[in-house]
Amino acid sequence: MKGDQGTLCSKERGFLYEFRAGNQRFVLTVPLKFPVQESATHLHRHLMRPYNLPCFIENDLKESLNRFIEEESIKDHDEEAEAALEAVKSGKVDLHQLANAWAKTYTEATLEYARPEDPSWDEDFADVYHDLIHSPASETLLNLEHNYFVSISELISERDVELKKLRERQGAEMDKVMQELGKSLSDQDVNMLAAQHFESQQALENKWNNELKQTTAIQKQEYQEWVVKLHEDLKNPGTTLGDEINVQPNQWRESAEGNGRLFEDQRQLEESFTIHLGAQLKTMHNLRLLRADMLDFCKHKRHHRSGVKLHRLQTALSLYSTSLCGLVLLVDNRISSYSGIKRDFATVCQECTDFHFPGIQEQLEVVQQVVLYARAQRSSKSKRLHDSGNRNNGNEDKSKNIEQNLSNILPGEFYITRHSNLSEIHVTFHLCVDDNVRSGNITARDPAIMGLRNILKVCCTHDITTVSIPLLLVHDMSEVSNLSLVTAFSCLTIQWYL
């Protein structure tokens, strides 16, 4: 219908309205362009104000205007329809072409008759993986993923060793230069050497980063192709690959258990509680208090024991389910992975190839683009409000501060990353907190607490049934030295959940 309206010729017609005021008779004539782009209510307001019309004719004028627009619009559509029919009768329009155009438009606009969209490669791979991970081939998939993880870990270890040797060699060279400073060498020589060292480090890091990126891409492609081929092969039980699936898990289990005896995890302190909430419709919640590093839920073990392997199997089984696992990380306002726990988390993510989702750096780049777009939209809206006189000077200063940091997020805001390569986590919430959390000046309305509430809402609406949060709202116990603060933070966080 929108396309038909666009083909109508623009015509101007006069709207005539007569009314009486006392013994006097008045006539109002206003030119209107058809098709009318504005609503009758909007046009009615524009007629009442500039012509100073009396208020007692307002309703009658509105009815007359609506009736006039409707009648004239029907006439235009009738004329357009007559012209179209004449074009068909005279042979100017091909009937078959017209029928095909109508059929195509109808099938695209009507969901019942629309052609189903072709599933993407990611959707196909997700379905195939979900079928395989719930089949006898699940242990084979985990075995292959673990082998890929070991390969990447060895590559990262080689990188770290080479970078360490380079830094040690450069440190020794700098010490010698500093001893000769003021004698045979000047400050310019020291600066030149420092620049050379920096360039050497950057070149070596870029070399290893490119190699890791290339290896990860190759692993992802090989893995996805192998999974699809395995899924097709399972439909034919007579192939040798099916026999390999039945034998390989037992061999791997023996090897894994043999190696696992040499590596025992440290004993963890933990306690579990079950609570029931609600007066009439009660819901059960399991609370698990655990002393651990937040990244322990993400790290893979180089030598799997049976218990650790079961955790990884459970994570893989629930990857495309309605029982996802989430983790809350407390970060600063910069969307990056260059410092603090963000760097450690990115390192853990890079230790194992993600076969289902983009890498951590790619996801952060997308988040940065979304934040920039959202900040730009809010900034332009604030400017419009300021230009119309609806803002004061204090808000203007705040707006300027936001404009200077469009790429940063505010305390209480969070961004989400998806992962299939972490040990026990599918979704990570990166919650921005400020210094109030570390200083102890925190209340129930603090941005960090409000952010946790919003995270819980997202968990409830997106099938995230398990979420791990830092109980004291810090990642390092050295940041909380007062026992009273520990108690206050714990109570506040638990009250937030309840």
CA 437 → CA 213, 229, 342, 413, 458, distances in Å?
37, 51, 18, 14, 22
- Identity at 2, one-letter amino acid code: K
The neighbour count for residue 32, using CB atoms within 10 Å, is 16
**Angstrom distance (rounded) from CA 352 to CA 149:** 5
The candidate with the shortest Cα–Cα distance to 253, out of 192, 185, 177, 308, is 308
What pLDDT is attached to residue 260? 43
Backbone angles phi, psi at 160, to 5 degrees: -65, -40
- Plot region of 66 (φ>0 → left; ψ -120 to 50 → alpha; else → beta): alpha
The candidate with the shortest Cα–Cα distance to 494, out of 469, 475, 474, is 469
What pLDDT is attached to residue 474? 76
Q: At what angle do helices 340-350 and 360-387 cross, to 10 degrees?
A: 140
* pLDDT, one tens digit for every residue, the chain (498 residues): 333 444 456 778 888 888 887 788 888 888 888 888 777 777 777 777 777 778 888 888 888 888 888 888 888 888 888 888 888 888 787 878 888 888 888 777 766 666 666 566 667 888 899 999 988 888 888 888 888 998 998 999 999 999 999 999 999 998 888 888 777 778 888 888 899 999 999 999 999 989 999 999 999 999 998 998 888 888 776 655 555 554 344 444 444 444 444 344 555 678 888 888 777 788 887 888 888 888 888 888 765 555 456 778 888 999 999 999 999 999 988 888 788 889 999 999 988 899 999 999 999 999 999 988 888 888 777 777 766 655 445 444 544 444 456 778 888 999 999 999 998 899 999 999 887 776 667 777 888 888 988 998 999 899 899 999 888 777 776 655 565 656 666 666 666 555
pTM above 0.75, yes or no: no
- Token output for 193: 């050497």
Question: So where are the chain's domains?
Answer: 2-113, 119-262, 273-364+408-498
What pLDDT is attached to residue 34? 82
Backbone angles phi, psi at 162, to 5 degrees: -65, -40
- Token output for 492: 């506040």
What pLDDT is attached to residue 246? 47
- Nearest-5° Cα angle at 328, 412 to 472: 80
- Matching CATH number, 273-364+408-498, of 3.40.50, 3.30.70, 2.20.25, 3.40.220: 3.40.220
What pLDDT is attached to residue 11? 77
